[in-house]
Every structure is written in C-alpha cells, then in structure tokens.
A and B are shown apart, each in its own frame.
Chain A
Amino acid sequence: MLPDLSHSEILRYSRHLLIPEVGLEGQQKLKAASVLLIGTGGLGSPISLYLAAAGVGRIGLVDYDVVDYSNLQRQVIHGTSSLDKLKVESARDRMLDINPDIQVDVYNEPFTSDNAIEISRDYDILIDGTDNFPTRYLTNDVSVLLGKPNVYGSIFRFDGQVSVFDARQGPCYRCLFPEPPPPGLVPSCAEGGVLGILPGTIGTLQATEALKLILDIGEPLIGRLLLYNALEMSFEFVKLRKNPNCKVCGPDPEITELIDYEAFCGVPGYDHEEGAVSGEWDITAVELAERLKTNNYLRLLDVREPHELQISHLDGATVIPLGQLASRLSELDSAEDMVVFCKEGTRSARALELLASAGFRKVKNLQGGINAWAREVDQSLPIY
C-alpha cells in the first residue's frame, strides 16, 4: 500500500499532482521509492538536488571524499561554506534543507566489493554518479547480481553519455564495454578537465530517467545510449543490444560474485592520482629540485597541452604534448638524463612507458606533476 501524503506535502508537490502522468498516486510512488546514488560529485549534485526536491522518499548517498575547492566549479550541491566537510554530509544537509520530508541515508566510505551488495540491497534503483572505471564496473555488476536498474551517466570535457542498464530487460554496461580501456588512455576529469555545466546536464537527465522508472511512465533509456555534445548541442542515440557473451548478464555468466575491480581496470577505484604512478621511475619534486642544483644536463620534458602552460610552467622545459610524443621522439636524446612531468603525474607516467619502450633508459617521472612542484618547491606557482 502506498504511503499517504500530508497536506503540506500535497502543497509542496502540487505542480506534480497537476500532471496526469504523475498525479497523487505517482507522488505516493515517489514517496515510497528508494534510490541509491553512488558519488556525490558533479553528476551526483543535480541528481541529489532534484530527487530530493521531487520527493523521492529515501535516498542513499555513497562517497568517501571531502569537499575540495576545485569541486565547486561544478558540484553545485556543495558550497564554499562546506569546504573540507564530508561530501555525503554536505549533500545531506542541502537536500534536507530543500525537503525535510525525505530520508537521506549516508555512507561515508568508498563503494567497494566488500560493502556494495550490503549497501545496495535495500534500494529500488542504483544511480551511477561515479568518476572512475573500477566503481562503474562494480556498480554495474551489483545491479545485475541484485536485479536492479542502473541509471548510468558519464562525462568528459564537453561529452556526456546516459543510459539505463537493466539486465532483466536489456543490456548492461559490460554488454557495451566488456573491458575497460588501458590505464591512462582516457584521462579523468582531474587530468583532462570538464565543462562545469556538463554534469548538470547529464545528471539532470539521469534524475529524469530515475523518476520515469519509479513512476513507470514514458520510454526509459533501456537499450539506448544517449550521446550528448555540448559544443555541437547534439543529442544522438544509438541502439544497445544484450551481448550473448556478456560475462555478467549473459546466459552463461563467468562473474557470479563481485570481483577485484581495481585489478580488473588496472587503476585505483578512487580518485587518488598517486595510485597511477609507478614506483621505481618516480622522482619527487624535492628530489628534482636537489638534482637540478647539481646537474646542468638534466632535461625537463613537459607533456601537457599548450593551453596548460599559461597556468604554470617550468623554465627551460621542453614541451611535447603526450599525443605528439610518439611522432616527435627524434627531438629527444635517449642518452640524456630526463624528467617527464604533467599536471599530476598520470600523463607523464604514460609518456614514460612510451619512452621506455623506445629505448630511453635515463628517464624519471615527476611524482604528482607540476602541482607537486608548486606545493613543495615553488609556491609562487598556482595549483590547478
């Protein structure tokens, strides 16, 4: 039986009650519904704001992070006053300010194979607002194993993707992406950037899909993938089919319980950049500063994009963006001592692999990139 609405709830939701597709019963369905939102960052911001305002009765929030200054360009559920606060608490406070009639459960922990099933079990719908491949595969597998829909959204720079994966009726995330790309091929938003409004657009579409599922109205994005590009203002759809060989939702699944997703993807499941850097090749900013005092023949190789040089640069560094490195190796001398750097050490680690495979043996990677240099050696440089 659906829960009753109080007089104040009827007034609050009157604009919903006026729509025949929602009506009183639809609003009661929203009140009875439960949604688990994994990630309270860029995508999670509009999702949590709108689901709270719409009156979804119980919303779970999973995030392990605290609000950082660089989040505020897009994570509109948090504010300057919530800097350094736990994201789940900052988000919960804002949601309950919008709508005190809902229940917000917070899980201040990374979403992992150890806790994901337990956390997700009591929710009707999962929403993927995560920012990395391991947690995306984990969220997918949880949704398949528990038989729940997974409202998927993902962003990069000006591009967004949205779909609803429900293996009971259509394909899952693994049907489309059986394997993750190799580590480093697709930069994270921390490394590659993202238009601040983009998660607003994509997250709002995810929230719309979640409401449609709860209300059982319209045509959910099951079996369709929306591709959005903000620069072209284009919305394209492609068809997604169930992959008969899918390892988790196919007829003969290999994956029947959660696996080690960090090992599967080769990258850490949460946004700690240092995890992407390989130990023996590393040099710290402080060590590099020492070496530069005594070694005049140390070449610095900056593999960032030209527009990043306007933010910060190291004098005398050779600049070859990562994408051009393979075709411009002849400009470098493998006999020279060299330190490669980027913003935070991820792209330079990839550059180092490329250089090593081309026979360069005297190369090091600046751990933490130019941001670490700005933090530990030269505070006159900005951190970005």
Chain B
Amino acid sequence: MASLRIPTPLRVYADGKTEVNVQGDTVSEAMDDLVVQYPALQPHLFNGDDQLRPFVNLFLGEDNVRDLDGLTTPLNEDDRLLLIPSIAGG
C-alpha cells in the first residue's frame, strides 16, 4: 500500500495524522481512498469537478504529479505521495 504524507495545515482534517496508507493503482484512486478515510479533507483538496485544486501540489517521490501523468499516474505498492502545502509564515 502506498503512503501519503499529510502536511501540517491539513492534519486537523485528518485526525492529526502525519502519514497515512492509501490504496489504489493510480494516484487518483489513492486520493479517492484518502478522502474516504478522511472526508473532511475533500473540500480542501478537490474542487467541484473532482479535480485537484490549483494550490494543491501532489508529489510522487520527488516529482510533481503534474509533471507525470497527473491523477492517472500509476502507483506502486511502496510509493510515497507527498502533499506540499502553500505556507506563508515568515
């Protein structure tokens, strides 16, 4: 099962979890599984058309999924997904 890292600002919507396991053969399926496990994350990640919101950066390993095949990018068992948040503190 792939793992997914939840960024600090979104942990409040995922029971405070840092890293969760997600199931799926593609990035899209894994994200669906994520919001099934933590429905409160849904509005923060997806817009009305079920597309990732433009400020949500999802990386597979060290590559942005936008630079791969987007949500259809295939996922392996030991892959690690990383949600990178916009943070602005200084």
Contacts and interface: CB of A to CB of B under 8 A. Distances in A.
Nearest to A153: B90
B36 interface: no
Contacts of B59: 238
A342 interface: no
A227 B87 CA distance: 11
B88 A188 contact: yes
A180 B86 contact: yes
Contacts of B44: 185
Interface string B25-57: 000000000000001100010000000011101
Contact of B55 (A43, A158, A177, A327): A177
B62 interface: yes
Interface stretch (A127-135, A208-216, A273-281, A373-381): A127-135
Contacts of A158: 8
B62 A188 contact: no
Interface in A88-143: 128-133, 136
Nearest to B57: A176
Interface in B66-84: 66-67, 82, 84
Give the size category of A's interface with B: 35 or more
Interface residues of B, number: 26
B51 to A, nearest CB: 13
Contact of B88 (A132, A179, A238, A241): A132
Interface string A249-290: 000000000000000000000000000000000000000000
Interface of A: 39, 41-44, 128-133, 136, 153-159, 161, 176-182, 185-189, 192, 194, 199, 225, 227, 236-241, 243, 321-323, 326-327
A49 to B, nearest CB: 15
23 contacts: A39-B90, A128-B90, A131-B90, A154-B88, A155-B87, A156-B8, A159-B85, A159-B87, A176-B64, A176-B84, A178-B55, A180-B55, A186-B86, A186-B87, A187-B9, A192-B9, A192-B89, A238-B84, A239-B63, A241-B64, A241-B67, A321-B12, A323-B12
B84 A199 contact: no
A186 B85 contact: yes
A130 B90 contact: yes
A158 B66 CA distance: 27
B64 to A, nearest CB: 7
Given A133-B86, A156-B87, A185-B44, A179 B64 contact: no
A71 B55 CA distance: 29
B62 A154 contact: no
A177 B87 contact: no
Contacts of B40: 323, 326-327
A188 B84 contact: no
Contacts of B86: 133, 177, 180-181, 186
Given A131-B90, A187-B9, A238 B63 contact: yes
Contact of B89 (A194, A225, A238): A194
A253 B63 CA distance: 24
B13 A238 contact: no
Contacts of A43: 90
Interface in B1-16: 7-9, 12-13
A39 to B, nearest CB: 5
A154 B89 contact: yes
A271 to B, nearest CB: 10
B64 A240 contact: yes
A196 B21 CA distance: 32
Given A158-B8, A178-B54, A227-B84, 5 more contacts: A131-B89, A155-B89, A159-B85, A239-B64, A241-B67
Nearest to A160: B87
B63 to A, nearest CB: 6
Given A159-B7, A239-B63, A129 B57 contact: no
Complex A-B, nearest 5 residue pairs according to Cβ-Cβ distance, in ascending order = A323-B12, A131-B90, A189-B89, A156-B87, A179-B54
Nearest to B90: A131
B90 A237 contact: no
Given A225-B84, A237-B62, A241-B67, A154 B90 contact: yes
A130 B88 CA distance: 8
A239 B62 CA distance: 6
Contact of A186 (B9, B39, B64, B84): B9
A182 B90 CA distance: 19
